Structure 1
C-alpha cells in the first residue's frame, strides 16, 4: 500500500483506482465503453480488499465512471473502507470508446484487424476507428464517422481535471475508473504524450496517487503508480506469454535498513537473474541486503560515473539473450538496478518522456519497468512500491 498521509494544505491529492476484475477481463475481451461487463467473484473480493487498504485514508469526495463494472467496484471499496460517501458520476471517466472491437477477444482482434492492431500498439495517437454507419432516411448513402479513440480520451481527461480540481483544493479525492482512462488522467496531469499511451500499466484494483500543487507554477507530481501489494501481489502481474526484460529499480539512500530488509523479504520469491549497482557505499550495502536470499544472482558493480553507459550495454546484451530464446514464449529476464536516486529518476523519466519534476521518487521503494521483446515501448509496471 502506498504512503497515504493526510495531504498538506498546498496540495490536492488524487487517488486513482482501476475497477476490479470483470467478466470481460477474465474472458480476455475488449471492453471499451460498452456496459455488458460486470465484476467476477474475484473482482468483488479484490475491490473489498482495496477498500480495506484505503481504510485509514480520509476521502473528501468520490468520482466514478457510470459503467457497471466501476459502480460495482466502488460499492465494494466503500464497504471495505467502512464509510459512506456521496459518489459523483462523470461521463468523462468512461473507458476509451472502441465500438468496433468491444466484445471481441484480444486474439480475434490481433488476427482479423492486424493492421489496425499494429497501429493501436505502435502509434496510438494515430489510431482511428469508425464507430458507426449512419444511413440517411431516404437514401442508401453511408456516412462513416471516424474517431481517434486515444486523442478523444485525452481530451476527456483534460476536461475532467479542469472541471473537478477547482472544487476540491487542498482535499483528497478518490477516482475509480478504467485502465485507459486512468492512463489518460495520469498522462495529461504530468505531460506524458498520447504517443506514450501504452507506457503505463494499470492492473485491476491498482492504486495510483497524483499530487496537484495549489501554488502557481508548480507541476503535478506522480507519487505512486499501479500499487497492487494490497492484493498479495509481490509485483504487478505480466500478461500471459510475455517475453522481455524486467528491471527492478531501487534508489539507494542507506537511510532506512529496516525498509530495505522488508523489501528483501518481499523479493525473496522473485527470480533475479542479475544485479547492477554503482560503487557508492549506499548502493553496495543496499544491494547486499536485497540479495541475501539470492546467492546465485550475478552481481555487477560499476563506477558511479559510468553507470548509465554500462546499464545501456547490459540492457542491449540481455535483450539479445532473450531474442536468442524467442521460441520460449514465456522467457524473460529480471534484473535488479540499485543506484542513487538521480539515476533511478532519470531512468523513469526516459521511459515516460516527461519532466523529472513530475516524478516523486520515494526512498527505499521499488519501481518496475518492463521492456517487451517485440515492442519499442517500455512499460512502467509500478512506481514507488513500499512495504507499509
Structure 2
C-alpha cells in the first residue's frame, strides 16, 4: 500500500481570536475578513491537490476555512469528534495567563501529566482524546482515501497530533499552532510521520 498523505489544518481567524476570547466547542463563530483571506490563500496554494475527502468539525469556522474545496464538489464529512475542546463556563470570555489563576493551574496540570484536569464545566485532554479515537480509527480504515484534508481547532489539533504520533498528551504544547497553519503527515498504514510542521508558507501566496 502506498503511503497516504494527511493535511491537518487549523481554521482561519475569527474576531474572537483577535480579541483573545475563548471559543471552544460551545461557541460557533464564523471567520472574519482576515480568516476568509487566509482560507482563500490556502486554496490558492492547494486548490490543485487531488483530495479524496475533506473532513471538518461540525463548527462553522472549520467548514468556512475549506469552503472553496467543498465548492469543487469534493466529498465532505463533518465529525463532532474533531470539535475544539470545551472550556466549559469560560467559553465566550477572555482568559489570560496573567489574569486567570484557574486557567494557569489547568495548563500547569496538563504539562505535569495530569491531563484529566479541566476548567469548570469543560473537557479534559483525556476526554478530547477519547472522542477523537473513533475518528482516528475511521481515518486509518479508509485505505482508498490517499490524500485527505482535515480542518479542525488549535487545542484539539494538539491532542490529535499527540495521538497520531504516539506522544503522551502532556507533550501537546510542543505542537504550536496559528490560524490556518498546516501540519502535513504521511501514514504508511501503521505509522504517522510529520513532513511539514506549522507550515504557513501558503499565507504568503496572494489569494
- 1:326-379 Cα offsets, whole Å, 9 max, x none, are xxxxxxxxxxxxxxxxxxxxxxxxxxxxxxxxxxxxxxxxxxxxxxxxxxxxxx
How far, CA to CA, are the matches of 1:110 and 1:36 in structure 2? 26
Q: Does residue 1:91 correspond to 2:80, yes or no?
A: yes
Deviation at 1:155, TM superposition (A): 1.4
Q: Gaps (5+ residues) in structure 2?
A: none
How far, CA to CA, are the matches of 1:161 and 1:31 in structure 2? 24
Q: Does residue 1:35 correspond to 2:24, yes or no?
A: no
SS of alignment partner, residue 184 of structure 2: strand
- 1:45-81 Cα offsets, whole Å, 9 max, x none, are 11011011112321000110111111211214556xx
> 1:50·1:77 contact (CA, 8 Å) conserved in 2?
no
Bigger strand share: 1
**Distance of aligned partners of 1:11 and 1:169 in 2 relative to their CA distance in 1, 3 Å threshold:** farther
How far, CA to CA, are the matches of 1:76 and 1:42 in structure 2? 16
Aligned counterpart for 1:156 among listed residues 131, 134, 142: 131
Q: Gaps (5+ residues) in structure 1?
A: 1-8, 132-146, 234-388
How far, CA to CA, are the matches of 1:10 and 1:102 in structure 2? 42
Moved segments of 4+, more than 6 Å: none
Q: Does residue 1:122 correspond to 2:111, yes or no?
A: no
Q: Report the equivalent of 2:45.
A: 53
Deviation at 1:110, TM superposition (A): 4.4
Aligned counterpart for 1:182 among listed residues 157, 174, 181: 157
With structure 1 as the length reference, what TM-score do the two structures score? 0.49
> 1:59·1:172 contact (CA, 8 Å) conserved in 2?
yes
Q: Report the equivalent of 1:226.
A: 198
How far, CA to CA, are the matches of 2:144 and 2:161 in structure 1? 18
Deviation at 1:19, TM superposition (A): 0.5
- Give the number of the structure whose alpha-carbon radius of gyration is greater: 1
With structure 2 as the length reference, what TM-score do the two structures score? 0.88
Task: Spell out the pairing of 1:127-138 with structure 2 (5 A cutoff).
Answer: 127-131=117-121
Bigger helix share: 2
Aligned counterpart for 1:210 among listed residues 185, 188, 196: 185
SS of alignment partner, residue 148 of structure 2: strand
How many pairs align? 201
SS of alignment partner, residue 128 of structure 1: coil
**Distance of aligned partners of 1:77 and 1:41 in 2 relative to their CA distance in 1, 3 Å threshold:** farther
